[in-house]
Amino acid sequence: MSLLSTLASELDQMAQAGTLKRELALKTPQGPIVEVEGKGEVIMLTSNNYLGLADHPAIIEAAAKGEHDFGYGLASVRFICGTQTIHRQLEGKISEFFGTEETILYGSCWNANEGLFQTIALEQDAIISDELNHASIIDGIRLAKARKERYKNRDMNDLRRALDATKDARNRVVMTDGVFSMEGSLAPLPEMVSIAREHGAFLVVDDSHGTGVLGKRGRGTPEELGVFGKIDAYTSTLGKALGGSHGGFTTGPKVLVDYLRQKSRPYLFSNTLPPAVVMGSLAALALLEKDSSLVTRLRENTTYFRKQLTSKGVNVREGIHPIVPILIGDTAKAIAMSIELLDRGVYVSGFGFPVVPQGQARLRCQISAAHTREHLDRAIAAIADVAQKFGVLAA
Ligand SMILES: Cc1ncc(COP(=O)(O)O)c(C=O)c1O
């Protein structure tokens, strides 16, 4: 069989199983209501645009100014000739936001994770990772020569076991998502901080879904859980709550960041962030610093949405995060439900294996501060209706 026919036959199998991912084209900016090509206007319930900043006028204006004053691109990586004053400013602002010493920007958080482990953890070291960590962490860890241990999702006894099993390593890095993106659940950071300290391990949190979302001031999962300032280092993204465009970073102790600037391959060998993104991100951080009412609004919307759906018998996974998973079980059914919801004007994604474990397919709703009560009520009614039609509503 030729390569292409192998690929074609696998695609056929996915099509027959009803598990092919579809890409729909938006004709409008990202927002609480979008126009989907061929479908018309729908309520957006599947975007990481948590604070509704993706089309915020102040951010668009800052990005346009960035392009005007600093150009479209730098045609270089950071260390050759791709560093502008605004890159330094953004790194400084991110450090202030996280209460850390220093920050290094990457093209994405994927790149930040890809560039972390292989750089800091060598053969004599160990990396200990939650089994549900994001794909970028899994792939990033694969690239490292260090010994690898996985512990069961949020299971602190199993984390202790993994630490005991690696006690002969020179250095140990414990890595967790702040928020697990398919679950909307939070890592038990207070316990992790004390366990990591007890074992002399270095704790890193990927707070991509916590940054701008959790904590009173949107400073993330550690702020939410009362351990702000106690995490050794973070990776996170500029591509979700902070404007939703592109870019990621690692932030933590100065010596870590200095080292990454010298040795981290995606930083050394991939282009610098474009000025529009840098200035847009600076504007997003400034907005959040001045006024955390969007964070409050996001929490109110989330609480309302979760409560209403639950009261209607929809099987919502408990939590506080604007990622609201609705457990369905069967992948084809979850995807069929998402298609039906789109026809009814609600854009929500269905996820199945291998994105989530076999038999745990789900719809994943994501709430934004930009949703109005009316948007949420319409979405809630449609979801409850479709859940009833597909026989997944509690009796
Ligand atoms: C936990 C986590 N880490 C990293 C990433 C990748 O972020 P980026 O889009 O900036 O590469 C994501 C994006 O989905 C994520 O959810």
Report pLDDT digits (tens) over 158-173. 999 999 999 999 999 9
Phi, then psi, of 12 in degrees rounded to 5: -60, -45
Using N-to-C axis directions, what is the helix angle for 275-290 and 57-70, rounded to 10°? Answer: 140
Q: How far apart are the C-alpha atoms of 228 and 312, rounded to whole Å?
A: 36
Instruction: State the catalytic residues.
Output: 181, 209, 240
User: 57-290: which CATH architecture?
Assistant: 3-Layer(aba) Sandwich (3.40)
Looking at the CA of residue 239, tell me the nearest atom of ligand 1: 10
More confident residue, 395 or 30: 30
Q: How far apart are the C-alpha atoms of 348 and 316, rounded to whole Å?
A: 14
390 DSSP 8-state letter: T
Residue nearest to atom 15 of ligand 1 (CA): 208
Report pLDDT digits (tens) over 93-107. 999 999 999 999 999
According to CATH, the topology of domain 17-46+292-389 is Aspartate Aminotransferase, domain 1 (3.90.1150)
Residues 11-46 as b or e (16 or more Cβ within 10 Å = b): eeeeeeebbeeeeeebeeebbbebebeebeebbbbb
Residue nearest to atom 12 of ligand 1 (CA): 208
Q: Which tokens in the block code for residue 53?
A: 């900043």
pLDDT for the residue 17:
80
Q: Which of 256, 224, 282 lies closest to 93, judged by CA? A: 282
Cβ contact 260:218 at 8 Å: no
Q: How far apart are the C-alpha atoms of 23 and 349, rounded to whole Å?
A: 11
Cβ contact 227:193 at 8 Å: yes
> Does residue 109's CB lie within 6 angstroms of at least one atom of ligand 1?
yes
**CB-based contacts of 290, cutoff 8 Å, min separation 6:** none
Q: What radius of gyration, in Å, describes the C-alpha atoms of the chain? A: 21
Place of tokens 């890193």: 204
* Distance of CA 220 from the midpoint of ligand 1 (Å): 15
* Distance of CA 236 from the midpoint of ligand 1 (Å): 7
pLDDT for the residue 130:
98
**Which residue out of 104, 111, 136 has the highest number of ligand 1 atoms within 8 Å of its CB and is therefore the one to mutate?**
136
* Distance of CA 69 from the midpoint of ligand 1 (Å): 29
Domain ranges of the chain: 17-46+292-389, 57-290
| Distances 383 to 4, 238, 307 between C-alpha atoms, Å | 39, 30, 13
Report pLDDT digits (tens) over 332-380. 899 999 999 999 999 999 998 888 888 999 999 999 999 999 999 999 9
Q: Which of 358, 294, 369 lies closest to 331, judged by CA? A: 358
Q: Is the pTM of this model over 0.85?
A: yes
Cβ contact 274:63 at 8 Å: no
* Distance of CA 133 from the midpoint of ligand 1 (Å): 10
pLDDT for the residue 352:
87
Q: Is the pLDDT of residue 181 over 90?
A: yes
Q: What is the mean pLDDT of residues 200-213?
A: 98
Q: How far apart are the C-alpha atoms of 188 and 176, rounded to whole Å?
A: 10
pLDDT for the residue 18:
73
Report pLDDT digits (tens) over 310-338. 999 999 999 999 999 999 999 889 999 99
Report pLDDT digits (tens) over 210-225. 999 999 999 999 999 9
Pairing state of beta strands 361-366 and 323-329?
antiparallel
Q: How far apart are the C-alpha atoms of 203 and 197, rounded to whole Å?
A: 9
Q: Is the pLDDT of residue 188 over 90?
A: yes
Query: Which is it for the CA torsion 166, 167, 171, 175, positive or negative?
Result: positive
Residue 229 CB coordination number (10 Å): 10
Q: Which tokens in the block code for residue 161?
A: 């076991």
Q: How far apart are the C-alpha atoms of 112 and 106, rounded to whole Å?
A: 6
pLDDT for the residue 313:
96
Q: Which tokens in the block code for residue 368?
A: 């934004």
Report pLDDT digits (tens) over 246-288. 999 999 999 999 999 999 999 999 999 999 999 999 999 999 9
pLDDT for the residue 353:
83
> Does residue 237's CB lie within 6 angstroms of at least one atom of ligand 1?
yes
Q: How far apart are the C-alpha atoms of 132 and 155, rounded to whole Å?
A: 11
Looking at the CA of residue 133, tell me the nearest atom of ligand 1: 1
Q: Which amino acid is at 317?
A: R
Q: How far apart are the C-alpha atoms of 206 and 136, rounded to whole Å?
A: 10
153 DSSP 8-state letter: T
pLDDT for the residue 249:
98
- Pseudo-torsion of CA 329, 330, 336, 342, nearest 10°? 30
| Distances 38 to 46, 183, 334, 343, 387 between C-alpha atoms, Å | 18, 31, 22, 10, 24
Cβ contact 173:204 at 8 Å: yes
Residues of the chain with pLDDT > 70, as a percent, come to 100
Q: What is the mean pLDDT of the chain?
A: 96
Q: Is 332 left (phi over 0), alpha (psi -120 to 50) or beta?
A: alpha
